[in-house]
Structure 1
Amino acid sequence: MKGFFRYDGPFFSTMSRVFDLVVLNWLWLLLSLPIVTIGASTTALYTVTLRMARDEDSHNIRSFFQAFAGNFKRATLLWVLYALVGGWLLAGAYAMSHGAVPVLKGLAIVEAGLFLILLLGLLYLFPLQARFINSVRGTIAAAQTLALRHLPASLLMVAIVAAQVLLAAYAAPLRGWLVLFWVMLGASGTAFLCSKVLESVFRKELGQKERDPVPAVRN
């Protein structure tokens, strides 16, 4: 028991990790406020949480700001592209689903399916930008390919996010606690859990060079 509470023991190690995640969450929230910067802030967040998932030492705050600045242009472009395409697909699916022609309703299902595939790719997009060096086109292609190639991992990450959404929607007594959780650990905690899943995927891909989705590791 004494070892548990040592400075380098499990208790203080866990508390240190939680504190780092709280700080990262606040940084993410602050730098995401302009909306257009969500891509850069999410890439910076994953830069740190992926290192945490690999148990690598990192100066988290400094690494966050370095990654935010270093990935700002490309991550912002990726975010804007996905937002535009996603918005177009969603609007098209909504408009067609309300049309009177049966063919349009069928097309609405197709567009809704493409939108869901795009969302799956979004789970990988900014982690790939954070973890690997690639072109914008290459990152998008890798994100969509990995989302479908590793569907169980993709669905696990969907479940991590969906569980929070479902609790907020259907567990009214818990909403106050959920708001507190999101203010303290929402984005960073989710990114850290997803990073554990993503690192497993990346290790598999890097172990199969002929299927390696990216040419070079960033960190």
Structure 2
Amino acid sequence: MQLFQVDSPLYKFLQRLLDVLILNFWLIVCSIPIITAGASITAAYSVALKMAKEEEGYITKSFFQAFKENWKQGTVLWLITMVCSYIIYLDFEVYFSYEDGPVLLLITGILASIALFCSVIYAYPQAARYENTIKQYIKNSRQITIRFIGKTLLLIVIVTIELLLAIFNSVTIFFAILIGPAIIIYTISGICVKIFEEIESNE
């Protein structure tokens, strides 16, 4: 049947779904020790960026090769992300611990959250694709967020929709566990590929 031929849309969809499922499995498994989550996320981005360009090859092999190559960069980025996230969490905790919390704490928490988002949203994909310093990844991420604010806002909308669909009911939650994190990384990677190619073409 033509429906299941190698070049049919259905076959390509099912193959991509299987790739995402495999990628999500290794992403979750390699993130379980927590400290390795940064390397796991960076490795997942490395594979997803190739998937977005249809250059991924073998998912498992590509993932562990990227995991090994990006261990240091991914771990440092993850530690920075976690420390900053915890500080922001404490800020909001203090604010909400008061019946009428200081407005300055709320404003600080919101601004810090935005700053952290801008600093890391494109940092992990960069670490997966380019050789650079951690400081430069973070600086570039902020600059990309501002320069490509339209694509960044589109990215936020798409990921938000994906998250809302993921928690819609028990069935969607089940599928979100199976493929959710990898789907989000794949979505971000699709936009990152376009951004990176545009930046590279102008250099």
Fold match by TM threshold 0.5 = yes
Count of residue pairs brought into register by the alignment: 203
TM-score (structure 1 length as normaliser): 0.82
One of 178, 191, 197 as aligned partner of 1:184: 178
Measured in 2, the distance between the counterparts of 1:161 and 1:175 equals 17
CA deviation profile, 1:28-68 (whole Å, cap 9, x unmatched) = 11111112221111111111110011121422110100111
Cα separation, partners in 2 of 1:45 and 1:57, compared to 1, 3 Å: closer
Within-5 A mapping of 1:155-170: 155-167=153-165
Identity over aligned pairs, percent: 27
Opposite residue 10 of structure 1, the aligned amino acid is P
* 2:198 corresponds to 1:199: no
**Which residue of structure 1 aligns with residue 68 of structure 2?**
69
Question: Contact 1:94 / 1:108 at 8 angstroms: preserved in 2?
Answer: no
Measured in 2, the distance between the counterparts of 1:92 and 1:71 equals 31
Measured in 2, the distance between the counterparts of 1:69 and 1:43 equals 10
Which ranges of structure 2 fall in alignment gaps of 5 or more residues? none
RMSD: 2.3
Measured in 1, the distance between the counterparts of 2:22 and 2:99 equals 51
Deviation at 1:195, TM superposition (A): 1.2
Deviation at 1:114, TM superposition (A): 2.2
Question: Contact 2:48 / 2:56 at 8 angstroms: preserved in 1?
Answer: no
Cα separation, partners in 2 of 1:147 and 1:176, compared to 1, 3 Å: same
* 2:16 corresponds to 1:22: no
Measured in 1, the distance between the counterparts of 2:162 and 2:10 equals 26
Opposite residue 138 of structure 1, the aligned amino acid is Q
Q: Secondary structure at the residue paired with 1:8?
A: coil
Q: Secondary structure at the residue paired with 1:36?
A: coil
CA deviation profile, 1:58-90 (whole Å, cap 9, x unmatched) = 221101001111111211111101211222133
Q: Secondary structure at the residue paired with 1:199?
A: helix
Measured in 2, the distance between the counterparts of 1:158 and 1:117 equals 15
Measured in 2, the distance between the counterparts of 1:168 and 1:126 equals 23
Measured in 1, the distance between the counterparts of 2:19 and 2:162 equals 21
**Which residue of structure 2 aligns with residue 5 of structure 1?**
4
Question: Contact 2:23 / 2:182 at 8 angstroms: preserved in 1?
Answer: yes
